[in-house]
């Protein structure tokens, strides 16, 4: 009898272990890789219909993942958009709606340290965290990537950079020799953490190389990784390698050809990173997200078709961006979603996937979209997704709810308009006369949201600061006035 009981006990324990094994496997924390381009046009990747720029590596990932055709960032240009991604909040709410200047940098300016970054949350959850490439969130020590939750940083602190080391190093050395104390950030040496490094490769290739390094290090450390890979391509200056330019000999316009070659370099780099993920057996457990920080700059080679507008606008072309999620056997494959999502959703979504704890009292504007993504449901049904761009004495505004969007843009005397951006992404058919009550309600909701904004903590230049106070910005009383 005792022997029978022991055998029964062993069998039960075996069944228990077998039954719990999938649960343990499912509990493995995923790697999260965010690949962020700079000023990439909506139509400048193959998976969004590009006819002249080829992106084979990105297309493979996109087609075996989920493409978001209505993906938004929180602001139509660089710094504020990145601040929103890191904080999960609209930048106007904590005083960061302007870019930090790239000349005469103030070390006291940067995203308030009271705003806990998603990187800090991931780091505390046991992740090996890295920021590679463009930062643009503060130059001083309190605002440095290593002070904001990133174990490893390789890149530059400013809003952009030249691409060929021999070129920018020569210019930097000449300015140092001449005693210039306000050297443009685009020329400064790159940093690895707090140490100046002697870079020798084309910028995009260098950043891809460092991403490969971090992937390998994460494997050695036996830790999940969170990587923020912020390429500065295809942001100006338009500079590309000869071999990449050769791929696009058929493009006659010089700016467009160079721009295309810069995007292709990013694609090549992503291919190398994916190859490394597979070699280190981390690919199957890695969520890859690709997007741009804002719309493409159509004055410098970009194409936002079929969207209206360009970088900086509150029209769709300013802040609606190409985006996909890819994670084998987790993210639905071959799917295209047309409901709206936002980069501010990354914060709570990543925290959920990481099993991380968001600090008590942390304000977040985004929502965890993960469960609804898997179920094919719209997390933002009946929600407003906003954008405000401050201009010289007036504010441009855009706000979307479901398929409809209100816009006031084009000058201080512009009128509110209403568009069905699902069926009219070019924002060419004003429906305000047809749906006046809907427009009125959406304007009122946006005005209420604007009451959460504070005065900017810095401005991108002295002239902008003087304009702000001399013209009583943000002039929301005028902006939200209905005709």
Q: For 281-306, how does the pLDDT look when each residue is reduced to its tens digit (9 = 90+)?
A: 999 999 999 999 999 999 999 999 99
Neighbour tally for 445: CB within 10 Å: 16
**Looking at the structure, do residues 421 and 345 belong to the same domain, yes or no?**
no
pLDDT > 80? residue 470: yes
pLDDT score of 437: 98
User: What number is the average pLDDT over the span 304-328?
Assistant: 98
Q: Identify the three-state secondary structure at position 243.
A: helix
How does residue 212 score in pLDDT terms, banded at 50, 70 and 90?
very high
In the listed set 375, 399, 419, which residue is the last one of a domain according to the structure? 375
pLDDT score of 337: 96
- Residue 171: inside a domain: yes
**Looking at the structure, do residues 330 and 393 belong to the same domain, yes or no?**
no
pLDDT > 80? residue 144: yes
**Looking at the structure, do residues 357 and 467 belong to the same domain, yes or no?**
no
**Looking at the structure, do residues 349 and 402 belong to the same domain, yes or no?**
no
- Give whole-number Cα distances, 313 to 75, 169, 410, 444, 468, in Å: 9, 34, 9, 21, 19
Q: How many helices (H) and strands (E) does the chain have?
A: 14, 15
pLDDT tens per residue across span 380-412: 999 999 999 999 999 999 999 999 999 999 999
- Give whole-number Cα distances, 453 to 34, 458, 482, in Å: 28, 14, 20
- Residue 244: inside a domain: yes
**Looking at the structure, do residues 249 and 392 belong to the same domain, yes or no?**
no
pLDDT > 90? residue 149: yes
Average pLDDT, the chain: 94
Q: How many domains are there within the chain?
A: 2
- Residue 24: inside a domain: no
pLDDT tens per residue across span 51-85: 999 999 999 999 999 999 999 999 999 999 999 99
In the listed set 340, 375, 410, which residue is the last one of a domain according to the structure? 375
CATH code for the domain of 92: 3.40.720.10
**Looking at the structure, do residues 53 and 139 belong to the same domain, yes or no?**
yes
CATH code for the domain of 433: 3.30.1120.10
**Looking at the structure, do residues 366 and 419 belong to the same domain, yes or no?**
no
pLDDT > 50? residue 363: yes
pLDDT score of 483: 78
How does residue 105 score in pLDDT terms, banded at 50, 70 and 90?
confident
**d(Cα 455, Cα 243) in Å, to the nearest integer?**
47
**d(Cα 129, Cα 166) in Å, to the nearest integer?**
30
**Looking at the structure, do residues 357 and 401 belong to the same domain, yes or no?**
no
- Residue 23: inside a domain: no
**Looking at the structure, do residues 438 and 325 belong to the same domain, yes or no?**
no
How does residue 102 score in pLDDT terms, banded at 50, 70 and 90?
very high
**d(Cα 217, Cα 194) in Å, to the nearest integer?**
19
- Residue 184: inside a domain: yes
**Looking at the structure, do residues 403 and 304 belong to the same domain, yes or no?**
no
How does residue 453 score in pLDDT terms, banded at 50, 70 and 90?
very high
User: What number is the average pLDDT over the span 136-148?
Assistant: 98
pLDDT > 70? residue 219: yes
User: What number is the average pLDDT over the span 127-143?
Assistant: 98
**Looking at the structure, do residues 406 and 462 belong to the same domain, yes or no?**
yes
N- to C-terminal Cα distance for the chain? 90
- Residue 50: inside a domain: yes
User: What number is the average pLDDT over the span 261-283?
Assistant: 98
- Residue 8: inside a domain: no
Enclosing H/E stretch for 133: strand 128-134
**Looking at the structure, do residues 306 and 435 belong to the same domain, yes or no?**
no
Residue 349, domain extent = 30-375
In the listed set 349, 375, 401, which residue is the last one of a domain according to the structure? 375
pLDDT score of 27: 53
Question: Do the strands 128-134 and 152-156 form a parallel or antiparallel pair, or are they unpaired?
Answer: parallel
- Residue 11: inside a domain: no
How does residue 24 score in pLDDT terms, banded at 50, 70 and 90?
very low
The conformational region for residue 339 under phi > 0 = left, psi -120 to 50 = alpha, else beta, is beta
């Amino acid at each position: 009898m005792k022997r029978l009981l022991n055998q029964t006990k062993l069998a039960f324990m075996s069944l228990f272990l077998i039954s719990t094994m999938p649960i343990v496997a499912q509990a493995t924390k995923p790697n999260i890789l965010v690949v962020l381009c700079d000023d990439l046009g909506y139509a400048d990747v193959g998976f969004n219909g590009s006819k002249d720029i080829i992106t084979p590596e990105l297309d493979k990932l996109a087609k075996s993942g989920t493409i978001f055709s209505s993906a938004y960032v929180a602001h139509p240009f660089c710094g504020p958009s990145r601040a929103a991604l890191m904080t999960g909040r609209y930048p106007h709410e904590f005083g960061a709606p302007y870019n930090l200047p790239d000349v005469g940098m103030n070390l006291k300016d940067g995203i308030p340290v009271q705003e806990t970054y998603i990187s800090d949350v991931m780091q505390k959850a046991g992740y090996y965290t890295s920021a590679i490439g463009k930062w643009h969130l503060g130059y001083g020590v309190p605002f440095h990537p290593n002070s904001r939750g990133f174990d490893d940083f390789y890149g530059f602190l400013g809003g952009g950079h030249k691409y060929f080391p021999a070129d920018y190093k020569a210019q930097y050395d000449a300015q140092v020799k001449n005693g210039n104390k306000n050297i443009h950030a685009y020329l400064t040496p790159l940093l690895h953490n707090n140490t100046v490094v002697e870079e020798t490769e084309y910028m995009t290739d260098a950043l891809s190389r460092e991403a490969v390094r971090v992937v390998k290090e994460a494997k050695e450390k036996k830790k999940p990784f969170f990587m923020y890979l912020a390429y500065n391509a295809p942001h100006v200056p338009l500079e590309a390698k000869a071999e990449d330019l050769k791929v696009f000999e058929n493009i006659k316009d010089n700016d467009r050809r160079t721009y295309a070659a810069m995007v292709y370099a990013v694609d090549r780099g992503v291919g190398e990173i994916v190859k490394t993920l597979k070699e280190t057996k981390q690919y199957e457990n890695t969520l890859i997200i690709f997007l741009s920080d804002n719309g493409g700059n159509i004055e410098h080679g970009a194409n936002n078709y079929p969207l209206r507008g360009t970088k900086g606008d509150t029209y769709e072309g300013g802040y609606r961006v190409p985006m996909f999620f890819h994670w084998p056997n987790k993210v639905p494959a071959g799917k295209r979603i047309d409901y709206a999502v936002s980069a501010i959703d990354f914060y709570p979504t990543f925290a959920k996937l990481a099993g991380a704890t968001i600090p008590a009292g942390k304000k977040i504007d985004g929502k965890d979209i993960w469960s609804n993504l898997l179920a094919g449901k719209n997390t933002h049904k009946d929600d407003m997704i906003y954008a405000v761009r401050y201009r010289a004495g007036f504010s441009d505004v855009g706000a979307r709810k479901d398929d409809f969007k209100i816009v006031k843009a084009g000058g201080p005397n512009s009128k509110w308009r209403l568009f069905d951006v699902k069926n009219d992404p070019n924002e060419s058919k004003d429906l305000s006369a047809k749906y006046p009550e809907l427009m009125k309600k959406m304007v009122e909701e946006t005005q209420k949201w604007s009451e959460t904004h504070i005065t900017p903590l810095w401005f991108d230049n002295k002239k902008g600061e003087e304009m702000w106070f001399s013209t009583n910005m943000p002039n929301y009383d005028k902006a939200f006035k209905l005709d």
